[in-house]
Structure 1
Amino acid sequence: MKPRPFSPLRYLSGYPQSTLDQVQRLIDDDRLGRYLQKRYPDRHEIKTDKALYDYVSELKQSYLRNAPPLSKVLYQNKLDVIQNALGLHTAISRVQGGRLKAKQEIRIASTFKDCAPEFLEMIVVHELAHFKESDHNRAFYQLCCHMLPDYHQIEFDLRLYLTYRSLADSPTRNDV
């Protein structure tokens, strides 16, 4: 099987062609990095798994008090951002004695240890929304927007950020 050619817009599949054309112009004019830097100049300070757990717990307490408790939250080196796994929510059920115990875990790709705070918040909100809605349906996105009103714009900009990073890491592109 042949390897698939590098597609700089792979994180933006599903967006209209007019949007893809605008992004391609930003890339061609070498303006994508400047756009992102101007919009998201800061980096968050949440570097440890404990700090991440506290951050996620605080957001959960603010918006999803009645949801099951968090068991574990951590940065995960093995999550493959290339395959669009920015974060992962898992619910593990185990029988302990005569009871069924459920554990809720959230794992965030370690790539996001050094990113804009808005990007980390968007990923956390997305994973927390899975506590209430397992599918990516209308109710899921309504909950995301309830927790983070600019959810869709930040998600799009995060995809631009991943696009920019993939261009910088690409062996065929050294000028980004």
Structure 2
Amino acid sequence: MHALLRYVQGYPENIVSQIDSLISSNKLVPWFEVRYPENHTIKSEKALFEYTIEIKNRYMKKTAPLSKVVYDNKIHLINNALGLHTYVTKNHGGKTKSKNEIRIASIFKEAPEPLLRMLVVHELAHIKEKNHDKAFYQLCCHMLPDYHQLELDARLFMIYQELKER
């Protein structure tokens, strides 16, 4: 079994074995490039913030504001995370200030747009739903109907990146 399969740990065996077969036959890279021929053009943090706010305003207008959305090159080292949502509360002079921040793994600067959108949707959903429960995934699917397929494809993107580096 390939070490690369760590990205799809927890998926059903039939899916993992298909991915294993694609890796073994050197077909995952060409398959991925046909499926996603282009990467997004959202390179700056300003563009990423505007992109995220646009999605937030469309689906989650009434939720707390976002103060920051950035690419973070430390993320994917932590628990194989692809993105993080942080809620920071600071007490300053008797006043409590809260900030929602989203961090996206830097590797997704060079990703297809649907995969970036999936990550942004996932982290936005955490503003309203803290846990990965039914309500959380319903919100993700409301914002992005093919959320589950894109989540798997984001994991395949991680494998794709490692295969291309070899």
TM-score > 0.5 by shorter chain: yes
Q: Return the offset for 1:97.
A: 3.1
Moved segments of 4+, more than 4 Å: none
Deviates more, 1:75-84 or 1:36-45: 75-84
Using the TM superposition, give the Cα deviation of residue 44 of structure 1 relative to its aligned residue in structure 2, in angstroms: 0.6
Q: Is the 8 A contact 1:76 1:109 kept in 2?
A: yes
Pair 1:116–1:82, CA change in 2 (3 A):
farther
Aligned length: 166
Contact kept in structure 2, 1:95 and 1:101, CA below 8 Å: yes
% identity of equivalent residues: 51
Higher helix share: 2
Show CA shifts across 1:54-113 (max 9, x none): 000111000111110011111112112573211111000112333321101011111111
**What CA RMSD, in Å, does the superposition of the two structures yield over aligned residues?**
1.6
Encode CA deviations 1:137-158: one digit per residue, 9 max, x unaligned. 0100000000000000011111
Aligned residue number for residue 98 of structure 1: 94
Q: CA deviation at 1:19?
A: 1.3
| DSSP 3-state at the match of 2:103 | strand
CA contact (8 A) 1:10 1:163 kept: no
Match of 1:15?
11
Whether 2:45 is the aligned partner of 1:29: answer no
Instruction: Return the offset for 1:164.
Output: 2.1
Alignment of 1:43-82 (within 5 A): 43-81=39-77
TM-score by length of 2: 0.94
Larger radius of gyration: 1
- 1:65-144 matches, cutoff 5 A: 65-81=61-77, 83-144=79-140
Partner of 1:155: 151
Q: CA deviation at 1:123?
A: 0.4
Query: What is the alpha-carbon distance in structure 1 between the residues aligned to residue 44 and residue 27 of structure 2?
Result: 32
Q: Please tell me the residue identity of whatever aligns with 1:35.
A: W
* Deviation of 1:6 (Å): 6.5
Structure 1: runs of 5+ lacking an equivalent: none
Kindly indicate whether the alpha-carbon contact (under 8 Å) linking 2:29 and 2:164 is maintained by their aligned counterparts in 1: no
Task: Work out whether 1:38 is the aligned partner of 2:34.
Answer: yes
